[in-house]
Amino acid sequence: MVEPLVSVVYNTLLSNRSKLNSVVRTVVTTPTHNGISPNFFNPEPRRVKGKNKSENVIPEAPHDRSLREWSSSNSRHLFLWPFHTHLMMLDELLRDEKTTPTRMRPKRPPRPRPRIIRPLLTSPNHAFQRRHASFATESESTSETALPDISAFSRIERRIQRFQRIAQLPLAEVNLHHLWRTYESVKNYDMSLPSKMNFLDKYLSAAEMQYQSKSENLMDELNVPVENALGILDDLKQAITPGSRFDHWRLCLLARAYALRGDLEAATDVICEADDKFVALPLAFKTGTAYAYNMILTSIRRYSGNVRAMEYIGDHWERLYFYLYIKMTGHDKHPQRNAGESLRATATRVAAEITEPLPFLQKKNWNRKRREDIGCFFIQALADVHFGTEAHEVLLEMQQLDLNVDRKYKFMIIRSLAQRTPTMSSAIALYKSIPPNSEHDVFYYQLGLHLYARQGDVEAFQGCFDKICAVAEPSADEIASLIHGHGMAGNAEAAEDVFKGFFPVDENGNRMNSPRITHYAAVINAHARKGADQKALSFWLNDLSKAGLAPNEFIFTSIINAFAAVGDFESAMAVLDQMRRAGVRPNAVTYTIVITLLAHRQDPMGAEAVFKRALKEGVVPDNRMIVSVMNAHVEGGSWMGVIRAYDYLIAARVTALSLEVYNTLMKAYVLIGAPFSVVYKFFKRLERTKAKPDSYTYSLLVQSACDAGLMDIAADIYYDMKERASYELNADVNVYILTILMAGFLQHGDTIRAQGVHREMQELGINPSPITYRTILQAYANERSKESLEIAERYIKTLIDVPEKERTWKRPKYDSSSALQHLYGPVMHGWSRMKSPEDVERVLQELQNSGETPTLGNLTALLDVYRLTFNIDAVREIWPDILKLGLKFTAKDWMAPEDNPLQTTRGVRGNVLCVPLSIYIDALSCAGEHTTIASVWKDLRGQGFSFDSHNWNHLAVAMVRAGQVERAFEVIERVIIPYQELSINSRKPRDRSPSSPLLSDALAEKQEEDEEEEDVPSVPAVRSVHRQIAAKLSSARTRDMEDFQKEADHSDDFAYHLHILHQISPSWALWKAHKATISVLLMALNSLHQGRLVRPVNTDEEYDDEDDSSQARDMLNRIYNNYPKTLQLVLELDEKERERLSSDEYREQYNLE
């Protein structure tokens, strides 16, 4: 377990954090303005002008006034946009905020600041000085020594202070109506020009935020604020010196107001006038221009679409270029501190959401240079949002059109492609196609080092490192990349050697050359990738502490990832808790790892609880984090949760959805058992989007074809993908698709073609995974013969006799089952079906001798064989161990009550004991232990476990065996049939614009609205042979459904058919009375018709049969009156069986005398 490692993290590192923390000194400087003249908003004692004072006042020169306008606001600085020139290491541990929906960004409390009321006047303006005689009484106006009215002064000051407080609120908290009313209360109090301009800027910014956050009735809500702003701007025109900075500011605000009103032509004319009129104005003072263009682009995008917005960018490229590639930063408190970034973000979103960039590269009204610039901007925009494949396609199209592309854009593509494993080979191929400028091209070899280190190609990244060293001493980042590369290659020992070579230990035991935290992160990550090697991790954590460093988020995330990789949820959560105690904030990647682990545990409610915890801690979720929650719902069979997460991503107005989103949605279709035709149409529609199918997409399509029994089509899909792999970037043949194809052939009895797939795997040099071997062993077990199981065991022996270091198969990531458990599992279940408890016990002992602990599946196989051999003592002995594992897998004690609004104790994963419970009920009822069944059922319900249709069917049979026939009919009538009817007839509404991607939020709202409404219990994702049945059933059920066939009306909605399917399949098929259950009820009914009561089985209690006839008749009457639907099912089976069987066969089978 995790205790030793946590102790190291806590005791060694966290107990003396004060010694490790450096002192950070913050120097705060306050800008000052010279020559600010006093007025009412900056009150000072007035000097009384005596009679002998000269009344001649030198008038202010126009140019002096302009200069003061220039000096009255905060200075802005120009920073050139830095391209991606720095090395990146451990990108899988870095967060990605570029595609984060704005609505999911958590609100952080503002830092406490001194309450300082700043004067509204920030620049001198002698021409507007007054004596404020309007605020004096009549007597005071005649006396130069009279004091002002204190009450009037206080009232006005309170209004001013209220206006200042509201004006300083964050934009998200500004109420336009209240802001305007407050402004009207002070606008006549001699407000300075900068004050009015600052207010107007804030007012329009708040209106723009409202414009971007709402989608309907925009003009009705914003018409008044826009007209208010235009009115102020018109009034200020006479007060502003032409050609001054305030004139430029006014034109920018005017353009923004026009854009808000939808008058894009006027907005463009005004901002172009400002650009031409102030061409000599330094870029540092052109923040307003960038924001005006941003508002124009936003308006075009909303009303005319991305294509028209991109055309606007191209048509005005010469004006927009500077603002797209600079970062203009003002004072930290200014609401518009990153004008260039805001414009660039909008333009990037426009470019990234365009599915066909080619027409822009071929525009005849643009010259060659313009088309090259736009093409490069497409590449940069797509690379920014991690659409590396699409960016590469733009590059290829530009090369075909003979358009020049600077290599820095190619490097952007390479880095983006390298972010995902499926496109790593494409990144390397592109890198190899770019020759270095010279032998001393350090930047080229730095990129190669980063790229090959991520791939784990030791020879390649070592070569790049040597090239760098030939020019200069390697930097700290380059050494870290070298260590990281050995870790990615799976050689933690080599990573250690590199670390120790650059940072040896001196005679005092201290590390030389001052290793950085990134070096420790790389070597710890190298060990973490091998699994939870607590000894090695503890050593390096101690070494980290001795070096005077404290673990950061990368270190903790690497350790959490190590435990997650082996499915050790408890240890991962323990380290996460220590991370918080250490004051290290988990990031989006940290929480994504935990959510992914919960997904593999089929616990979507737990995943949502972790997601909510992250939001409360101020983590900004990226798309991957949201998709991981979506995948948790897929794995748990929570189809409503899948649809809600997808609808949120669509409605959140982020950039075009990534392939990962579509693959997760397609996976839901496959696991729910959707007809192959539906999955195939999904695939073809996906081909027309920006997210091109990859190997995983093809694997899902092959899986769907195999489930439908269409093996020839499955093979054709594979060969089509294999052909495309020669020219497409992300369609490489891998072990997953070959394993799926092999399993399909084996399940359909085609061993010849299955062997062919295995040979092809060997010819391609692809190492089988434990799942591949499990598939082969499962085929042997399915033959249900002693000989085949013995062959399977010999096959396992040949695999495990290979030394562990030489094994090519590894434990599947995030899987709580080890590789050996995957191998032994099918054999144990095979011996169990053969009713051989000795062999099951022997194989389980071999597994334990290998250092593995039994899984729930292993113990279930043992329980089943004891049931089949009527060993009730062994059944009772093993059940507590099974219950203990079930409690462990479903415990929610790590979840805070506030993170679990539905107060679920087990979640969707609460059905983990459904299979062993059915076996246990059957064994107990056969043994006559009827009271024990009731006790077990009550205990499991009290502990929060859920029951599926199989449990209720077994309970009904157990009721008959206990002699409680009426209770058995009641179970079918009151539980199974209502759930089946509810799942068939219900049509749940769909919220296409959810405010949250979390299903728990929707369910909490539903509970508040209607606490009495009962929903269909959640159904687990359909697996293996059951998925094949579900696919056939759903095909038959949806064939004639009218709204299911309305595909043309929902061509843009990829989740439409899933919304229909999750209401009819597989839950409607699973929630039904089984034929075996109805057969037992038929036998009981026949017994009652013959005047005989059903007696409990295997009991020593004696009964008097004299009253049987009357009691049986009374019971029959109650059954006919109280359970008509169940009785109908029994009578329908009776009619079919009488037709199928002869009279004697029927009497013998159904207990007739």
DSSP class of 854: P
297 and 411 co-located in one domain = no
Total count of domains within the chain: 3
1132 domain-assigned: yes
648 domain-assigned: no
Using alpha carbons, list the distances in angstroms from residue 1090 to 366, 1081, 1103, 1109, 1152.
Answer: 93, 14, 17, 8, 8
**Which of the listed residues 291, 318, 353 is the one where a domain comes to its end?**
353
End-to-end CA distance of the chain: 62
Say how far apart CA 948 and CA 1017 lie, in whole Å: 8
911 domain-assigned: no
Q: What is the pLDDT of residue 263?
A: 86
329 and 225 co-located in one domain = yes
Least-confidence region, from 78-82, 226-230, 828-832, 1074-1078? 78-82
Least-confidence region, from 70-84, 308-322, 1024-1038? 70-84
Which pair of structure tokens corresponds to residue 1001? 């939020």
What pLDDT digit, counting tens, does each position of 938-984 carry?
998 888 888 888 999 999 999 999 999 999 999 999 998 888 776 66
199 and 262 co-located in one domain = yes
What pLDDT digit, counting tens, does each position of 402-440 carry?
999 999 999 999 999 988 877 888 899 899 999 998 888
Which residues make Cβ contacts (< 8 Å) with residue 56, sequence separation at least 6? Answer: none
Q: What is the pLDDT of residue 1053?
A: 81
What is 193-253 written as a DSSP string? Answer: HHHHHHHHHHHHHHHHHHHHH--SSHHHHHHHHHHHHHHHHHHHGGGS-TTSHHHHHHHHH
313 and 415 co-located in one domain = no
Least-confidence region, from 616-630, 698-712, 839-853, 1028-1042? 1028-1042
Given a cut of 50, whether residue 445 has pLDDT beyond it is: yes
Band (pLDDT 50/70/90 cuts) for residue 468 is: very high
Q: What is the pLDDT of residue 479?
A: 95
What pLDDT digit, counting tens, does each position of 654-677 carry?
556 788 899 999 999 999 888 999
CATH number (domain holding residue 345): 1.25.40
Given a cut of 50, whether residue 39 has pLDDT beyond it is: no
Average pLDDT over residues 228-245: 84
332 and 183 co-located in one domain = yes
- Domain around 224: 100-108+149-353
According to the per-residue pLDDT averaged within each range, which of 560-574, 657-671, 1035-1049 is highest? 657-671
Given a cut of 70, whether residue 1043 has pLDDT beyond it is: no
Phi, psi of 511 (to 5 degrees): -70, 135
Say how far apart CA 1035 and CA 844 lie, in whole Å: 41
Say how far apart CA 406 and CA 402 lie, in whole Å: 13
1119 domain-assigned: yes
Q: What is the pLDDT of residue 111?
A: 46
Are residues 259 and 204 in contact, defined by beta-carbon separation less than 8 angstroms?
no
329 and 372 co-located in one domain = no
CB atoms near residue 824 (< 10 Å): 27
Given a cut of 90, whether residue 1132 has pLDDT beyond it is: yes
Which residues make Cβ contacts (< 8 Å) with residue 151, sequence separation at least 6? Answer: none
Say how far apart CA 1105 and CA 1093 lie, in whole Å: 8
Q: Please give the residue that has the higher pLDDT: either 994 or 27.
A: 994
Percentage, residues of the chain above pLDDT 90: 30
Which residues make Cβ contacts (< 8 Å) with residue 438, sequence separation at least 6? Answer: none
Given a cut of 80, whether residue 192 has pLDDT beyond it is: no
Which pair of structure tokens corresponds to residue 590? 């940290």
Average pLDDT over residues 387-393: 88
Say how far apart CA 706 and CA 69 lie, in whole Å: 75
381 and 319 co-located in one domain = no
Average pLDDT over residues 876-896: 80
Least-confidence region, from 82-86, 582-586, 719-723, 765-769? 82-86
**Which of the listed residues 397, 417, 434 is the one where a domain comes to its end?**
434
Least-confidence region, from 58-67, 348-357, 548-557? 58-67
Q: What is the pLDDT of residue 387?
A: 85
Average pLDDT over residues 701-727: 90
Q: Across the chain, what does the average pLDDT equal?
A: 77
Residue 327: strand pairing partners:
79
Which residues make Cβ contacts (< 8 Å) with residue 405, sequence separation at least 6? Answer: 372, 375, 376, 379, 395, 398, 399
Given a cut of 90, whether residue 838 has pLDDT beyond it is: yes
Handedness of CA 1140, 1143, 1146, 1148 (dihedral sign): negative
Residue whose pair of structure tokens reads 């913050």 in the numeric block: 26
170 and 270 co-located in one domain = yes
1018 domain-assigned: no
**Which of the listed residues 296, 320, 353 is the one where a domain comes to its end?**
353
517 domain-assigned: no
Percentage, residues of the chain above pLDDT 70: 73
Q: What is the pLDDT of residue 234?
A: 83
What pLDDT digit, counting tens, does each position of 802-833 carry?
777 667 766 666 666 777 888 888 999 999 99
Given a cut of 80, whether residue 908 has pLDDT beyond it is: no
According to the per-residue pLDDT averaged within each range, which of 4-13, 113-122, 325-334, 474-483 is highest? 474-483
Band (pLDDT 50/70/90 cuts) for residue 367 is: very high
Given a cut of 80, whether residue 148 has pLDDT beyond it is: no
609 domain-assigned: no
Which pair of structure tokens corresponds to residue 1071? 């929630």
Least-confidence region, from 107-116, 262-271, 519-528, 1050-1059? 107-116
Q: Please give the residue that has the higher pLDDT: either 733 or 691.
A: 733
- What are the start-end ranges of the H helices in 948-1066? 949-961, 965-971, 977-985, 999-1009, 1024-1038, 1056-1061
CB atoms near residue 1121 (< 10 Å): 9
347 and 404 co-located in one domain = no
255 and 396 co-located in one domain = no
Q: What is the pLDDT of residue 85?
A: 37
Q: What is the pLDDT of residue 702?
A: 95
660 domain-assigned: no
273 and 186 co-located in one domain = yes
Which pair of structure tokens corresponds to residue 1133? 């089976």
Say how far apart CA 913 and CA 890 lie, in whole Å: 10
Are residues 741 and 702 in contact, defined by beta-carbon separation less than 8 angstroms?
yes
Handedness of CA 304, 307, 310, 314 (dihedral sign): negative
Q: What is the pLDDT of residue 88?
A: 43
Phi, psi of 338 (to 5 degrees): -135, 65
190 and 330 co-located in one domain = yes
Collapsing DSSP to helix, strand or coil, 746 comes out as helix
